[in-house]
Structure 1
């Protein structure tokens, strides 16, 4: 009696059964790659936390239509990354200053300090910046009214200050 092991192997090869381990190996490698890529994406995604907003103390004073901001303490602020919103008695101005600027709708030309495009945009402790609200902007800064200023960095509030005219 002859042993049929050799013929069984030959038979498997002819019917495609011997290719099952190859297909299984390819499938296992594919699943491993998908899992590794998914885990890598999750781990890398968690590692990138958003940068915290800078902190600073800004003092506001108003003289007529001119708003002067003094950087009292905290971090240096890059005014190119700030958006400034001004309100008078709770009502926002029609036009807000696009700091830094030289000439902008609703404001007189030539703001000072880092608010001016010709200056260094890095606003450091001890520096002042000022701008003058034009008569064409509304509401007007009348004596006794409250001026509120909010400054945002990447849509996060950084500074909130107010004073009376």
Structure 2
């Protein structure tokens, strides 16, 4: 009788070990799969590239949409710095009159214009004397364009 008990114990140990090992593999696979799906959901949606250029003449900044996806100006944020120092007043785009800027920007930055900024269009704005720092000849002007929180372009030009 003791032999039968030993055989049955030995057989059930192998069976029990196999079931536990399979269960452990299933649990680990489920955890890895859940983590992979979670990581895939949290990755940002890729955006189509957009090419912009910057020209600075005196206090006037001209940004040209060179190509790529159209931009919705109402969702854009523009951040300007001169020689690494941010302007005291940043432009709210679109606008007609804003603190630190001369009224009436042109192109899609004007509140009366179409809010879609497409390839070939140039938007200009001019700093007023109330904004600081001034743009001196040869100064490096940096313009960062954001679509919501997503960076679209970082442009740099020397003032002429």
**What 5-or-longer segments of structure 2 have no aligned partner?**
1-36
Paired residues for 1:16-165 under 5 Å: 50-165=44-159
Deviation above 3 Å: which 4+ runs of structure 1? 46-54
Task: Report the Cα distance in structure 2 between the residues aligned to 1:52 and 1:142, rounded to whole angstroms.
Answer: 38
Task: Report the Cα distance in structure 2 between the residues aligned to 1:86 and 1:47, rounded to whole angstroms.
Answer: 33
Task: Report the Cα distance in structure 2 between the residues aligned to 1:164 and 1:65, rounded to whole angstroms.
Answer: 12
Superposition deviation, residue 55 in structure 1:
2.4
Superposition deviation, residue 48 in structure 1:
8.1
- What are the superposed Cα offsets for residues 72-114 of structure 1, whole Å, 9 maximum, x if unpaired? 0111001111100000000000011000000000000000000
Task: Report the Cα distance in structure 2 between the residues aligned to 1:54 and 1:104, rounded to whole angstroms.
Answer: 30
Higher-Rg structure is 1
The SS at the match of 2:104 is coil
- With normalisation by structure 1, the TM-score equals 0.69
Q: Is the 8 A contact 1:68 1:128 kept in 2?
A: yes
The CA RMSD over aligned residues, in Å, is: 2.2
- What is the count of residue pairs matched by the alignment? 126
The SS at the match of 2:130 is coil
- What are the superposed Cα offsets for residues 111-162 of structure 1, whole Å, 9 maximum, x if unpaired? 0000001000100000000000111000000001000000111212111111
- With normalisation by structure 2, the TM-score equals 0.72
